[in-house]
Amino acid sequence: MNIQTLHASTKDVGGIPVARLLPQGRRRTIGAWCFLDHAGPAQFAADAPGLQVGAHPHTNLQTFTWMLEGEVWHQDSLGFRQLIRPKQVNLMTAGTGSRRGIAHTEQTPEGIHSLHAVQLWIALPMNQEIEPDFQHYPELPEWQEDGVRYVLTTGSFQGRTAPTQQYSPLVGVDVQADTAQSLSLALEAGWEYGVLVIAGSVNAADGTRAAADELLFFEGSADRLTLEVAAGSHFMLLGGEPLPHPTVIWWNFVADSRAALHEAVADWNSGSPRFGAEIDLSGTGLKRLVAPEPPQGLRD
Ligand code: MN
């Protein structure tokens, strides 16, 4: 198995440090996981607004929010309004094809002054007809073993299964080790895997190391993954079966061609009913975002 350490591109989103691990360079996906941001941990000043993301659309993907600290309001064009708290997952499904999409806002509630979350996108299999949807998972399988704390956010792992809906086989496991540990994790044949380090550091068996905001990326197959984990480490194991088709990403859209991305941009900017009902932004202070045109050189 070939193992690489990927570094994040970092940016500041409204005072929140965000580390983006995927996509980058030749590394586009881990199974259907196609976008990976680690946001925070951030503490806001008493008068700072926190996360304030206006109405924006998505296509051919699911947004998967894994909350670690703080709270965020979700509101979408299907009419769902949901507060997400730590140890919960929000899963929003945009649906597939050129006639489906969804829009949403994300906003820190008044009185909340922190944010720490992992925000992922899952590319949908575009050879399936999938309707837009939203799900909130307030309780997920959680257990301890040899001083290591696990939360299963999606999929099946070591005999447990999360309730989280999937359209292609995936796994996402949150792992925290208070003391230094050697972990042996079972892997599925033919899947792709990565380890996002949230805090501390993780060493692969060949000595490849990743620290906070770095991603261990595994290429090739193995039955098990051995990780040497430093005391106080926190990471997320992500894996999945590769999608049967390539995906292109632009702005908040996933598609199977550049033409489909252009169509999504035009549809959103012209107020197409493809994206559901207009979200009521009155009293939120939020705006409807404008989709930028894809650049000429966008890669397929
Ligand atoms: Mn979004």
Question: Ligand 1 centroid vs 249 CA: distance in angstroms?
Answer: 13
Q: How far apart are CA 180 and CA 285, in angstroms?
A: 46
Calculate how far, in angstroms, residue 142's C-alpha sits from the geometric centre of ligand 1.
Answer: 27
Q: Which residues of the chain have pLDDT under 70?
A: 14, 299-300
H/E run at residue 144: strand 142-145
- Residue 300: per-residue pLDDT: 54
Check residue 222 and give its pLDDT. Answer: 87
Residue 107 alpha carbon to ligand 1 centre in Å: 11
Cα 56 to middle of ligand 1, angstroms: 6
Supply φ then ψ for residue 273, to 5 degrees.
-65, -5
Distance 120 CA to ligand 1 centre (A): 10
| 175 within a domain of the structure (yes/no) | yes
pLDDT at position 299 is 60
Q: Residue 145 falls within a domain, yes or no?
A: yes
Tell me how far the alpha carbon of residue 63 lies from the centroid of ligand 1, in angstroms: 7
- What is residue 47's predicted lDDT score, i.e. its pLDDT? 87
- Asked if residue 105 belongs to a domain, the reply is yes
The reported pLDDT for the residue numbered 13 is 79
In this predicted model, what pLDDT tens digit does every residue of 45-59 receive, in sequence order? Answer: 888 889 999 999 999
3-state secondary structure 72-133: EEEEECCCCEEEECCCCEEEEECCCCCCCCEEEEEECCCCCCEEEEEEEEEECCCCCCCCCE
Give the number of C-alpha atoms closer than 13 A to the C-alpha of residue 132, restricted to the C-beta side: 22
The domain tally of the chain equals 1
The SS3 call for residue 205 is coil
> For the domain that residue 42 is a member of, what is the CATH number?
2.60.120.10
* Domain presence at residue 294: no
Q: How far is the CA of 83 from the centre of ligand 1 (A)?
A: 15
CA dihedral 183→172→126→261, nearest 10 degrees, is -110
Q: Which residue, among 145, 70, 79, 147, has the nearest Cα to 113 in the 3D structure?
A: 70
Taking only the tens place, the pLDDT of each residue in 75-97 is 999 999 999 999 999 999 999 99
Residue 101 Cα, ligand 1 centroid: separation in angstroms?
Answer: 12
Please check whether residue 27 lies inside any domain of the structure.
Answer: yes
In a domain, 193, yes or no: yes
In a domain, 286, yes or no: no
Q: Is residue 251 a part of any domain in this protein?
A: no
Check residue 12 and give its pLDDT: 85
Which residues are 99's β-sheet partners?
none
Which residue range(s) make up the domain with 234?
2-240
